[in-house]
Chain A
Amino acid sequence: MLTFLVRRLASMALVVALVSVLGFILIELPPGSALDTKIAQLRQSGGEISQEQINALEDLYGLRDPVHVKFTKWITRAVTGDFGHSFTMDMPVSKLIWSRLGFSIGLSVFALCISWGISIPLGVFSATHRHTLPDYVIQIMQFLGVAIPQFLFALVLLVFSASVLGQEVGTLFSREYQNAPWSLAKGLDFLSHVWIPVVVLIAGGTASLTRIMRANLLDVLGQQYVQTARSKGLHETRVIWRHAVRNALHPLVMALGTTLPTLISGEVVISIVLNLPTTGPLYIRALIQKDMYLGVTFLIMLSMLLIVGNLIADLLLAWVDPRVRLDES
């Protein structure tokens, strides 16, 4: 187990390093920077800016260095927690990202847990009641869950809660609680706002996980040891929950590798629609306005989220399935 862990950690470090190089180059690629916009603004407000001043500004932010120099400068500071300066927000990137990342991670993990909680019993029910009306209903819901783009579902829920429930929507807090300290009232207010993104995220995750659970359980139910368990005279619930479901679970853990990117992508999109204080809106704005350090930090942080998630999935899998452990070591 220890060698397995060490090997996974080493390869993870390599991937993180490669991802940050890739991300940096990608975001550096487009010509121009947020500084150009800033200079244009300064000019518009009447200030006369000479070429020397522009050069000085560019030197200050290191904009005229070649890419690899910029990267080295940035990465050496990044490992100490200084991710550079956001041009558009005019403050250090590190001040901007943490609370937003916190909300993103919280939302994704929360949605993932609930998706698992729903999809396991739903998948079991669907597999054990094959070709019945509830099974068909569950399957249709799955298709809809996968086929409806998440931003659209978020929009529809937004319209629903605004027009039918008469709620003030968008963001995570009502205006009066925006800067208030946490209290019971603020918590309730938070819950009345947070349900939309949570429901949208759960819908996508649950749809695919239920599908996997159903297919796996159907596979397992066809195997001979299940027949043996039945012929021993075990109660059907015991056969299913003790014998079959336990063996149908590990593909669900493996599916984490495909569920997580969907969750993170979904979270980015719907937070733009709902204007949530998470990574999504700021990331896309940073990309459009070429605020490179902000963009690259978000991209790498979101990747880290995925990489760590995959590591946890691998460890979980090694824990529940001894074959994986033995294979690797």
Chain B
Amino acid sequence: MVTTAAARATEFDEQRGAEISQWGLIWRRFARNRLSVWAGYVLVAMYATALFAPFIAPYAADHIDTNHSYAPPTRVRFIDGWPAVCALSQDLDPFLLKWQYADDCSQARPIEVLVRGDTYVLFGLVRTNLHLFGVTEGPPMAGASALEVHATPTPARGAASSDPLAAFRIQQSESIAPKVEQIRNAPRLYLFGADQQGRDVLSRILEGSRVSLTVGLVGVFLSLTIGSVMGATSGYVGGSWDNVIQRVIEVIRSVPTLPLWAAIAAALPRTTTVVQRYFLITVVLSLVGWTSLARELRGKVMAYRTLDYIAAARLAGCSDLRIILSHMLPNAASHIIVVATLAVPHSILGETTLSFLGLGMLPPAVSWGVLLKDAQQLDSILIHPWMLIPAIPVVLTVAAYFLLGDGLRDAVDPYSS
């Protein structure tokens, strides 16, 4: 029944092909731009992932395991045709005073689907401990012993082979170094490695995506609201109101964006909850962001003001509010959407940069910028290169938004080829 109705609808659409709505036309033009459509899919996938982040993540973002400080990304092996991970055993290098990790495949465990792990609350409603995949504690796998023979200890990244003292060190540690007892750990799954406190970087990236992906949306929504009100009224009313708003915009835009953001963010109280901080940061981003939107909208409204259909509406007795809301804004809607889409990545970059500088989100909050702050020191990145992995989703998201916005801009412009 449903399919026939749908079929009839398409048939109907084809019959009156000349009567496609404005939005239908925009959609058609947009769909032709394959790259933008794919960027849209990528973004949908990312937001869906963020929504289910604690379920997809193998561990809780704040699951500390000091026995795995800076553990490198775990190698996934196939034991009995099933993906599995070996445990990491720890040795203290008595000279570098650093933990060296070695694979301990006698403790291998399979990667299982739908496992019980850290407890979390999904959507703020369901308390559960079910994770999409992960490694549980239990008896070692049967087929693991065969693999153990081939397992070679992975040298820690810090002690590069070019180290001229390496031979000396090994000799020394064999002869005089006190034998440090090896710590045998239960296997853990660190697909993207672990940070200083042994927290899983993948889980933290997933958790951080919730802040990083939404802070842009909320920030742009705020700027959109302020910008629409300011821009529409200043374009419509004109006169001294327009003059005042234009001066305000000019002053705000005369301060370079990042230093201004930093100054406002530094003025925020530092003893707030994570949620309060989150909203304060969105406010900071939108306090600067609304200006460009207000300018564009003002231009549009001023252009519309002289058009006949506005004069007609006024003669018909429409109130100013009604003219702005139901005649001018819908006309500028497509333009507003494009500007907003292109503003989101700037907000995301803003949050990431501010957090990176220690002025945005603060730990224990997790965002991509907060994660990248841990990768600020050069020697730290050289030894633990996986700390830079959170950069990949940032670049991916921002690029996808730019591509999407580009496609939308071409689509709403009826004169584009």
Contacts and interface: CB of A to CB of B under 8 A. Distances in A.
A150 B395 CA distance: 11
Contacts of A155: 375-376, 378, 381, 388, 391
Interface residues of B, number: 41
Given A152-B391, A159-B378, A265 B258 contact: yes
B211 to A, nearest CB: 16
In terms of DSSP, what is the predominant structure of the interface of chain A?
helix
A139 to B, nearest CB: 10
Contacts, number: 133
Interface residues of A, number: 53
Nearest to A22: B251
Interface string A5-46: 000000100111011001100110110000000000000000
A162 B382 contact: yes
Interface stretch (A74-82, A183-191, A242-250, A283-291): A283-291
B326 interface: no
Nearest to A31: B269
A240 interface: no
B254 A303 contact: yes
A261 interface: yes
Contacts of A307: 254
B375 A265 contact: no
Interface string B376-396: 101001100100100100110
Interface in B278-332: none
B263 A23 contact: yes
A158 B378 contact: yes
Interface stretch (B17-25, B103-111, B187-195, B350-358): B350-358
A163 B382 CA distance: 8
B61 interface: no
Given A159-B382, A269-B258, A307-B254, A143 B263 contact: no
19 contacts: A11-B250, A18-B251, A27-B267, A143-B399, A146-B398, A149-B395, A151-B356, A151-B372, A155-B375, A159-B381, A264-B259, A268-B258, A273-B376, A284-B357, A284-B359, A288-B359, A299-B255, A303-B256, A305-B256
Given A143-B403, A159-B381, A260-B256, 20 more contacts: A16-B254, A18-B247, A23-B263, A27-B266, A148-B398, A149-B353, A151-B372, A155-B388, A156-B388, A261-B257, A264-B259, A272-B357, A284-B262, A284-B357, A284-B358, A287-B266, A295-B266, A299-B260, A303-B254, A303-B256
Interface of B: 247, 250-251, 253-260, 262-264, 266-269, 345, 349, 352-353, 356-359, 372, 375-376, 378, 381-382, 385, 388, 391, 394-395, 398-399, 402-403
